[in-house]
Amino acid sequence: MKTILVTGAAGFIGYHMSVRLSKEGHNVIGVDSLNDYYDVQLKLDRLKQLEAFNNFKFYNVDISEKDKFHEVFSNHAIDVVINLAAQAGVRYSIINPYQYISSNIVGFMNVLEACRNFKIKHLVFASSSSVYGANTKIPFSTNDHTDHPVSLYAATKKSNEAMAHSYSALYNIPITGLRFFTVYGPWGRPDMAYFLFTRKIINNEPIELFNYGNMKRDFTYVDDIVNTIDKLIDIPPTASPDKKGTDLDIADSFAPYKIYNIGNHQPVELREFVSVLEDLIGRKAVIQNMPMQQGDMLETYADIDDLTRMVGFAPHTNIREGLQQFVDWYKLYYGIK
């Protein structure tokens, strides 16, 4: 059993990851700032679930506060770091850009420095499908360029990848980055479309379909994410010091560094997505068609071949099954009959 630090442990994916690792018997150190980007009570309720595990310990610490964050490493002999803390949301990055620099750039720098100074054996960190930006080649491959981000959020995630590679190369730290594709499921984030749509359909409030609903997303169920991270923990990348620049594809490195896409590999049209929700909730949506929003991407679609080769990754949850799990949780959590 390992001692594993999970940043963003009170967040959506961080919560599910912490539950999985705690059930497996690892010593799990959870870190979260409990900021008010969305309902703090939901984060506290996630933590209540985690309190049932005597091998889970929580620190209310912001990763952007270097001294407080590094003190956690001083208190524990940590083997692996899973960095899931970040200021999320494409649209919010237009409203409050400085929060993204603080959490996603300064905070991630503190994660990297901790991994260097405390000799962490493997860092797994969350990137995003947003890094593909203006790329229109479908499906998105890790061998595609990511030079045209269309939101500050995407730019910070691309920066994280470059920062992580530099630390891996300089200090021989095994680092794995995962480009998540629209993760959803129970205990999810209230700012995400599936959560907002569910609440509004139940309350008979209008939902906004941007670009008039002509968008596709590669929705990925949270259990498929967690299962994969769990497998990757014990497969840190290895260095290939003999590789030179001319031998490297975009996704290759001479350093012990690897980037993977992690998606469902089956994009769903937004209108179909709403239709499934209507069917599961038993109520029709009131739809307001809206033009495209700044920072949005028309379609996301993950090429997952390299992850399949590495850990046998194959998504097991289709959109109807996943949304059923979410709607059931939503009704139970909010006391809806």
Catalytic center residues: 153
Which residue in 84, 49, 58 sits closest to 332, CA to CA? Answer: 49
- Element of type H or E holding 31: strand 27-32
Q: Are strands 183-184 and 175-180 parallel, antiparallel or unpaired?
A: unpaired
> How many other CB atoms are found less than 10 A from the CB of residue 134?
12
Which residue in 42, 41, 324, 40 sits closest to 194, CA to CA? Answer: 324
By the 10 Å C-beta count (0-12 exposed, 13-18 middle, 19+ buried), 266 is classed as: middle
By the 10 Å C-beta count (0-12 exposed, 13-18 middle, 19+ buried), 65 is classed as: middle
Dig out the tokens for 187 from the structure: 């205990």
In the DSSP assignment, the letter for residue 55 is T
Which residue in 119, 125, 110 sits closest to 173, CA to CA? Answer: 119
How far apart are the C-alpha atoms of 304 and 230, rounded to whole Å?
A: 17
Contact present, 271 and 210 (Cβ < 8 Å): no
Contacts (Cβ under 8 Å, ≥6 apart) of 93: 87, 100, 151, 152, 153, 156, 295
In this structure, what is the dihedral angle of CA atoms 183, 189, 195, 199, given to the nearest 10 degrees?
Answer: 170
Phi-psi region of 182 (alpha: psi -120 to 50; beta: other; left: phi over 0): left
Q: What is the secondary structure of 286-322 as a DSSP string?
A: EEEEEPPPTT--SB--B--HHHHHHH-------HHHH
> What spatial distance separates the first Cα and last Cα of the chain, rounded to whole Å?
42
